[in-house]
């Protein structure tokens, strides 16, 4: 069952009924001001940090779902009927409803009783406000008198404090009302130099700033007294819950439309400009007013929409494909890169599943997210690498998280997730392959953000490699620490008390648990580091990395192989995890695909066997589960993984992040059918038709789909902020379509099913546009099966790596013939 459809032409997903199984959201804004916006206009907004600078309230975990957001009420002033064009919070039946989620904007339209309201929501590029531009149309044959009410409930900035510290915060709320604008001033009197405001382009007929006055005692947003009455009372909030509620009255002739723009903004005043006049308690509103005035002018919003569209077209032009498979095309061309940008901007901080309070920027997460967007915004990738590396600890280890506002490591979580540093190597390698910008390696970068501690980035790379080598366990495999990629495999922690962190509770002394996964990842990283050292002419480092990769490979061969797949780990007492010797958790997905990526086990055929074992034991129609059999009970010696009911999350859920590793593994071992098959199993568009089962948005990946042990098998959770986005982008674009940046040029080596007659693609790479045409020649001819011939500007080349053209070459034409 579907709740809408893709409009590929406009790069929009069109939702045609408001009661989607879960809020289906979009993100507005990409730098400072970010808004989460659901298909019923729910959600919240913040300036840079979802916890510390939250502008409006949102109530997670509520009934009904999706409480809090951008409240718009249309009131027929002749009959008193009132309703929300986005359906929520009143849920009054609408005669028509659509929500178009586009790239950085959303348009929600609803109509009832012959009045239509269509609102475009967006965050103008480079600005710190959100705009709701509403067009109200009278579709009746008679004149109509209509009131439009816009309202927000302010969050008192720190979302955690706002939801907990009532003894204080019920007394701190303050507003200023001036010229029809509501300024939200809580804590501005003391240390804050920022405030929020809510304004409107039309003269306001009335306003309220006290929630109780607007809603009425014991009433909710679903039946605000002031809207019911049709007039706002001009309340001024002192403490309690400050809101901004504005009323505009419109007299509409038959067929007439009027536009009203509401703006919710954030303004920071520079030092010396806090109060006007200086020393008074009155905030200086000059800067805010300039923005408010700009959005009181008609036309500004259309210009912004155009600018957004143009920016996205330019960004997306880096890779476009026409394969004929709609699920491939729309994900590769639009939605997957879009999701990659959102995960890049937000890491794992704010979504319908991440409250914006708990998690900073993950070290491993940020490095992997980079793989999905480096081709679109290389300069921001560069900055991200330098920021992330500056949080690195002098021993090469990493804080597991860092804070987005300060960009400093998070002491509360600390370090000891021993896979973290290796991901920095992978990210740097990806950046270099995309851009060829070796200068980044010489950038001075701090250690643990300490002034004066700078050494060149290549030294950070070196210490990433040393970090693992300095921490080898009894089998010569890397020590796992608190956890590796699988945050829930806590083999040294032995967490016994409810509420204790599974990861950061004190580790049992002598933590010798080892990770076969990190071993594979290390080989991958060491190979990348070797290539980088070689390009820098550092033969000593190149040799060290080569030897380290070789000896780690030997350790994997000796202790990582279980007979038909790679083991996952060795626990605290040296027992294997992910082995046929275990009763549960016999085979894990993570190492199987990763070994192929690292080039381990390709020659002796083990990787092929491992990949076949995955298909036999872990693959379900809804994707590949993490492990089997699921853990039925809690295992102290394993940790959080066994805390989840079977089939969820790391305990045998389909953890979508890992599935692309198998797609890549299948592609590397030449199984084109297998690779695409896995790709389509978790592809959100391919799952659109089962939206009632999948339940999350059909246009973005979810972190998890419930596995076969769960009664809800096939149900997705944790959509949007997941490494799944980046890795699927890598799998489909680089390994299946086979368009892969390398240090010495672009490789084009598609591994697509025999049923594909070909595809076309354009890829911008280091300043040149590659027009790529792939055709299948002699289908089924055993003599040429599997061969790939590449012709560059009419000349056949040896192999599949296209040498870099003369700098400045605008276009290169590539023809690829698949046997």
User: Does 650 interact with ligand BGC (rule: CB under 6 A)?
Assistant: yes
Q: Between 650 and 815, whose beta carbon lies closer to ligand NOJ? A: 650
Which residue lies nearest ligand BGC, judged by its C-beta? 487
Q: Between 106 and 486, whose beta carbon lies closer to ligand BGC? A: 486
Cβ atoms of residues 659 and 682 within 8 Å: yes
Q: Between 267 and 347, whose beta carbon lies closer to ligand NOJ? A: 347
Cα–Cα distances in Å, from 2 out to 8, 591, 781?
16, 36, 41
User: Does 486 interact with ligand NOJ (rule: CB under 6 A)?
Assistant: yes
Taking the C-alpha atoms of residue 433 and residue 766, their distance in angstroms, rounded to an integer, is 10
Q: Taking the complex as a whole, how short is the minimal distance between the CB of residue 771 and ligand BGC, in angstroms?
A: 41
Among 572, 649, 687, 717, binds ligand BGC (CB under 6 A): 649
- How many residues of this chain bind ligand BGC (CB under 6 A)? 6
Q: Between 485 and 679, whose beta carbon lies closer to ligand NOJ? A: 485
User: Does 717 interact with ligand BGC (rule: CB under 6 A)?
Assistant: no
Q: Between 650 and 715, whose beta carbon lies closer to ligand BGC? A: 650
Closest CA to 120 of 108, 137, 103, 136: 108
Closest CA to 49 of 158, 126, 187: 158
Angle formed at CA 210 by CA 205 and CA 214, multiple of 5 degrees: 60
Angle formed at CA 401 by CA 397 and CA 407, multiple of 5 degrees: 100
Q: Taking the complex as a whole, how short is the minimal distance between the CB of residue 521 and ligand NOJ, in angstroms?
A: 11
Q: What are phi and psi of 227, to 5 degrees?
A: -75, -40
Residue 486 contact partner, candidates ligand BGC, ligand NOJ, none, CB within 5 to 8 A by sort of partner = ligand NOJ
Q: Taking the complex as a whole, how short is the minimal distance between the CB of residue 363 and ligand BGC, in angstroms?
A: 12
Q: Taking the complex as a whole, how short is the minimal distance between the CB of residue 359 and ligand NOJ, in angstroms?
A: 8
Among 398, 488, 705, 790, binds ligand BGC (CB under 6 A): 488
Q: Taking the complex as a whole, how short is the minimal distance between the CB of residue 339 and ligand NOJ, in angstroms?
A: 15
Told to judge if 487 belongs to the known catalytic residues of this protein, a careful annotator would answer yes
Taking the C-alpha atoms of residue 110 and residue 202, their distance in angstroms, rounded to an integer, is 21
Q: Between 241 and 658, whose beta carbon lies closer to ligand BGC? A: 658
Q: How would DSSP label each residue in 81-145?
A: -EE-TT-TTT----SEEEEEE-SSEEEEEEEETTEEEEEEEE--TT-SEEEEEEEEEE-SSS-EE
433-464 exposure pattern, b = at least 16 Cβ within 10 A, e = fewer: bbbbeeebbebebbbbbeeeeeeebbbbbbbb
User: Does 488 interact with ligand NOJ (rule: CB under 6 A)?
Assistant: yes
User: Does 482 interact with ligand BGC (rule: CB under 6 A)?
Assistant: no
Place of tokens 């009924």: 17
Using CB under 6 A as the binding rule, the residues of this chain from 620 to 659 that contact ligand NOJ are 650
Q: Is 75 helix (H, G, I), strand (E, B) or coil?
A: strand
Using CB under 6 A as the binding rule, the residues of this chain from 289 to 328 that contact ligand BGC are none
- How many residues of this chain bind ligand NOJ (CB under 6 A)? 9
User: Does 348 interact with ligand NOJ (rule: CB under 6 A)?
Assistant: yes
Q: Taking the complex as a whole, how short is the minimal distance between the CB of residue 361 and ligand NOJ, in angstroms?
A: 10
Residue 365 contact partner, candidates ligand NOJ, ligand BGC, none, CB within 5 to 8 A by sort of partner = ligand NOJ
Instruction: Determine if the peptide bond prior to 64 is cis (ω within 30°).
Output: yes
Centre a 10 Å sphere on the Cβ of residue 806 and count the other Cβ atoms it contains.
Answer: 6
Among 162, 365, 420, 571, binds ligand NOJ (CB under 6 A): 365
Closest CA to 744 of 801, 797, 798: 801
Q: Between 488 and 596, whose beta carbon lies closer to ligand NOJ? A: 488
Residue 274 contact partner, candidates ligand NOJ, ligand BGC, none, CB within 5 to 8 A by sort of partner = none
**Dihedral-angle region of residue 458 (phi above 0 means left; psi in -120 to 50 means alpha; beta otherwise):** alpha
Q: What are phi and psi of 480, to 5 degrees?
A: -85, -30
Using CB under 6 A as the binding rule, the residues of this chain from 602 to 641 that contact ligand BGC are 640
Among 173, 362, 560, 591, binds ligand NOJ (CB under 6 A): 362
Cα–Cα distances in Å, from 665 out to 68, 559, 607, 614, 735?
44, 21, 8, 11, 9
Please tell me the total number of residues recorded for the chain in this structure. 819
User: Does 118 interact with ligand BGC (rule: CB under 6 A)?
Assistant: no
Q: Give the active site residue among 208, 304, 487, 562.
A: 487
Q: At what angle do helices 457-469 and 516-535 cross, to 10 degrees?
A: 150
* Residues with catalytic function: 487
Please give the residue ranges that form the binding site for ligand BGC (CB under 6 A): 487-488, 503, 640, 649-650
Please give the residue ranges that form the binding site for ligand NOJ (CB under 6 A): 348, 362, 364-365, 485-488, 650
């Amino acid at each position: 069952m579907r709740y809408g459809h893709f409009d590929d032409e406009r790069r929009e997903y069109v939702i045609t009924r408001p009661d989607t199984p879960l809020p289906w959201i979009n993100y507005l804004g990409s730098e400072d001001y970010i808004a989460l916006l659901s298909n019923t206009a729910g959600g919240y907004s913040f300036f840079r940090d979802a916890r510390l600078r939250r502008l409006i309230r949102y109530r997670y975990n509520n009934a009904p779902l999706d409480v809090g957001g951008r409240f718009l009420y249309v009131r027929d002033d002749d009959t008193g009927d009132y309703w929300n064009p986005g359906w929520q919070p009143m849920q009054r039946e609408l005669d028509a409803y659509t929500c178009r989620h586009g790239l950085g904007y959303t348009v929600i339209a609803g109509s009832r009783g012959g009045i239509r309201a269509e609102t475009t929501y967006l965050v103008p590029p480079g600005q710190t406000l959100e705009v709701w531009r509403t067009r109200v149309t009278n579709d009746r044959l008679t004149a109509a008198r209509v009131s439009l009410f816009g309202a927000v409930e302010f969050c008192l900035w720190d979302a955690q404090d706002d939801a907990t510290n009532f003894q204080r915060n019920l007394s701190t709320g303050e507003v200023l009302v001036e010229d029809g604008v509501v300024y939200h001033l809580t804590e501005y009197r003391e240390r804050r130099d920022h405030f929020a405001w809510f304004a409107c382009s039309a003269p306001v007929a009335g306003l309220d700033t006290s929630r109780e006055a607007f809603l009425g005692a014991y009433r909710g947003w679903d039946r605000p007294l002031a809207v019911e009455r049709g007039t706002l009372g001009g309340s001024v909030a002192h403490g309690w819950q400050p809101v901004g509620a504005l009323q505009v009255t419109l007299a509409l002739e038959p067929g007439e439309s009027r536009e009203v723009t509401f703006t919710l903004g954030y303004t920071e005043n520079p030092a010396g400009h806090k109060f006007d006049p200086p020393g008074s308690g009155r905030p200086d509103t000059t800067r805010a007013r300039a923005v408010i005035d700009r959005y009181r002018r008609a036309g500004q919003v259309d210009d912004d929409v155009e600018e957004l569209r143009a920016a996205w077209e330019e960004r997306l032009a880096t890779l476009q494909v026409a394969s004929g498979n709609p699920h491939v095309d729309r994900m590769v061309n639009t939605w997957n890169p879009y999701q990659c940008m959102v995960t890049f901007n937000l890491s794992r901080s704010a979504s319908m599943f991440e409250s914006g309070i708990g998690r900073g920027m993950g070290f491993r997460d940020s490095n992997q997210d980079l793989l999905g967007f480096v081709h679109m915004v290389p300069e921001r990738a560069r900055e991200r690498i330098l920021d992330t590396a500056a949080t690195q600890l002098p021993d090469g280890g990493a804080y597991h998280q860092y804070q987005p506002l300060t960009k400093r490591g998070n002491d509360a979580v600390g370090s000891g997730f021993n896979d973290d540093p290796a991901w920095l190597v992978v990210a740097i390698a990806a950046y270099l392959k995309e851009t060829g910008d070796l200068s980044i390696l010489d950038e001075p970068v701090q250690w643990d953000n300490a002034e004066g501690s700078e050494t060149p980035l290549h030294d950070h790379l070196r210490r990433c490699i040393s970090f693992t080598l300095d921490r080898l366990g009894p089998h010569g495999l890397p020590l796992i620490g608190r956890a590796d990629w699988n945050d829930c495999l806590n083999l040294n922690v032995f967490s016994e008390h409810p509420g204790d962190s599974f990861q950061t509770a004190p580790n049992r002394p002598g933590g010798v648990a080892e990770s076969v996964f990190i071993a594979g990842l290390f080989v991958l990283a060491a190979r990348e580091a070797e290539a980088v050292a070689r390009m820098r002419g550092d033969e000593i480092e190149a040799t060290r990395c080569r030897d380290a990769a070789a000896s780690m490979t030997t350790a994997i061969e000796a202790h990582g192989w279980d007979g038909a797949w790679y083991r996952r780990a060795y626990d605290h007492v040296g027992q294997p995890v992910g082995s046929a010797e275990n009763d549960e958790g016999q085979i894990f997905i993570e190492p199987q695909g990763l070994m192929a990526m690292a080039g381990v086990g390709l020659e002796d055929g083990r990787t092929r066997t491992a990949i076949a074992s995955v298909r036999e034991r872990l693959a379900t129609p809804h994707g590949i589960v993490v492990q089997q059999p699921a853990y039925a009970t809690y295992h102290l010696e394993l940790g959080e993984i066994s805390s989840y009911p079977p089939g969820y999350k790391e305990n045998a859920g389909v953890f979508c992040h890992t599935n692309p590793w198998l797609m890549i593994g299948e592609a590397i071992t030449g199984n084109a059918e297998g690779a695409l098959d896995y790709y389509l199993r978790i592809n959100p568009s391919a799952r659109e038709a089962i939206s009632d089962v999948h339940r999350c948005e059909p246009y973005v990946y979810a972190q998890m789909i419930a596995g076969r042990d769960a009664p809800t098998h096939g149900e997705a959770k944790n959509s949007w902020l997941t490494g799944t986005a980046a890795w699927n982008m890598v799998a489909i674009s680089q390994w299946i379509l086979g368009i892969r940046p390398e240090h010495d040029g672009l490789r084009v080596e598609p591994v697509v099913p025999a049923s594909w007659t070909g595809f076309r693609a354009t890829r911008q790479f280091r300043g040149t546009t590659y027009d790529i045409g792939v055709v299948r020649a002699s289908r089924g001819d055993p003599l040429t099966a599997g061969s790939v011939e590449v012709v560059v500007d009419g000349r056949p080349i040896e192999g599949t790596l296209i040498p870099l053209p003369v700098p400045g070459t605008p276009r290169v034409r590539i023809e690829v013939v698949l046997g």
